[in-house]
Structure 1
Amino acid sequence: MTDIAAIRAAAARVSAGGIRRTPLLSAPELDRRAGRRLLVKAESLLVTGSFKARGGWAAVSALAAEGGAAGVLAFSSGNHAQGVARAAAAHRMPAVILMPADVAAVKAEATRALGAEVVLYDRATQDREALGAELAARRGLALVPPYDHPQVIAGQGTVGLEIAAQAAEEGVARADVLVPCGGGGLAAGIALALEAEAPGLRVRTAEPAGFDDAARSLAAGRRLRNERLAGSVCDAILTPQPGALTFPILARLAGPGLAVSDEEALEAVALAFRHLRLVLEPGGAVALAAALFRPEALSGDAVVCVASGGNVDPALFARTIAPA
């Protein structure tokens, strides 16, 4: 199980892997729109463009230290793929990445550029977990799943350590921390870190409407599945259901989940670029969208939003930020 000791150990390895602390940004116009102080944790500025570099490095570096793995396999819509591919290349390990066929081309290209082999599948009709398990067994690869893995959760928890320290520097002791949520690795890791380092900060998951399995599961007290596995512009965070490892952590530590429309996520992308000069993908902007468009669901004078990734398709980004 992941705990604060594992997160602190992962932080040391992640730092040694060239992954640096990301800033906590703000802008007066975003504060005005949110009706409170709004602080954005800019994970899109990390190497590979998302927080997934943390979990990928934490897991692969632990495997390399143990020895015996012929290589690694991951399944991902792109961000976890790049994190694992980068870490595997640095540790001289082969990497095979199972990616949905409808993934943004920029993500597949970036993954191949990091030296990984990309294998495509249909996310609407094929079970990626079953495909990944079969491929890993056939090739003798160690499976590094995108969220349900103790070291991946520990690596993502390093975001929480940074938020705790930065919030204290900003004089914020109590606030909701909104986190984009697919399978829940980032939200669960942050929640564990905040429990130990900043108990006045509470994680709230943010998801696209219609794919809000985390929010519905938290409300029901059990894991629920999404009816669909495709059909949102927030492709980076579309997962079948919360993870078996991540959900118990969120059920214990997280507040009620939030959901936003695709249109609101895209508006948050435009606002992040306009006021913070951040490049975000829609899935990486859902927490910001929740702060801006669901202010009545929040409490307190401040809110922290994790901007989880910036690997957006260039054509979509250009359309999104173009003046109306």
Structure 2
Amino acid sequence: MTTFHPFRESRLPSRGGIDDFDLVHHDGRLLAVCADAGGAVHTWDPAADEWRHHPLDMPFRSGDGMDFTEIDAIAAVVADGRIVVGGGAQHQPFALWDLETGAVRSHARLGHAGVGRARGGALGGRPVLLAGDSSAPPRLRVWDADGGDAAEPPEFLGGFDGTGDVAVAELGGVPVVVWGQWDGTVSVWDVEKGECVRNFAEPDIAVHGVGVATVDGAERVVAAGHDVVLLGDPATGVWSSPAEEDEEADDFDETGIRCMDTGAVAGRPIAVTGTAGGRVRMWDLTELRPVAEADAHERDVHAVRVTVLDGRTVAVTGGRDGFLRLWDLDSVAYR
């Protein structure tokens, strides 16, 4: 298996850990929007290696029992030319802000649970922010980044444990949301119809990463947890069996996968995972096997994104050691 190395890295100026981050392209630049271990929000411009701290207004009143803004799950999108961020924490409901001004755009009712995972994306061309509860049983809400707080966001209920990951995707030309949970539940939701269109057979893992990929010409749902990556058929809800791991893979971090994203390298579908032990792996989804790895961070990796930067496919990883690191996936040679 190939060992790969970051080609760029930068440390959070606060020296805190990175609990989560999301990526946006704004004014021709790639920006990472990060939540640090103290609940503060920062952006990093990897091209200029510049960090900015973004103070955010408190979305709740002091009498509501919340004395400060707490964010350990964050999502970001661009709406009407402005960066909109959404976030919350295990004990704080979701809220949306204008990143530049720090003004609150919308927020959840206090009756909403805390946030387990958040993700930004485009649903049928519309910028949205997904927020999955950390509670049991959890709810998933789809927030319109253009909207105010006049309307309640669409809300879905499923599974029996907290949210491990959420993703915006298209399956069969239909915009959908994929939702993975700690009890192994993975489901696909048609937001327009407001219904679950597929429940997958529960794998014997806590799911911490979900996405979609096209593998051998067929659309597949991807899920990750423990030390495996699985492919699911959205037509049947059945998972394929993971490939047998070789001896090199036997020492895969026992604390398991905590995040995943999907993409493609030279037309070949891949996934990138991060673990609670700081390891990053790139997986060939056609063969369902890891092809490159690195002991990437000294502490947990709780967020990874695959994107294109300067014409090459890269992974961005964020660790509780306070570093963001960039990995050139195009440089990984594997057969």
**Structure with the larger RCO, 1 or 2 (CA within 8 Å, 6+ apart):** 1
Higher strand residue share: 2
- After TM superposition, the score normalised by the length of structure 2 is 0.29
TM-score normalized by structure 1? 0.30
Higher helix share: 1
